[in-house]
Amino acid sequence: MSYQKYGYRIALPEHPEAVIVVLGMLARNLTGWLWMWRQLNPQLQSVKRAPGCVQAKGGIVGPNELLMVAYWKDAESMRAYFKSADHLTYMRFLSKNPESLTLWNETYQPAKSGMYLHEPHGLPLIYPKTGYRKSDFSDIQPAQ
What's 50's DSSP letter?
S
What's residue 121's pLDDT? 83
pTM: 0.83
Instruction: Give the C-alpha separation, 53 to 80, whole Å.
Output: 11
Which amino acid belongs to residue 140? I
Q: What is the pLDDT of residues 80-105, one digit of tens each?
A: 999 999 899 889 999 999 999 999 99
Q: Which CATH number fits domain 19-108: 3.40.718.10, 1.10.760.10, 3.30.410.40, 3.30.70.100?
A: 3.30.70.100
What's 73's DSSP letter?
S
pLDDT below 50 — which residues of the chain? Answer: 1
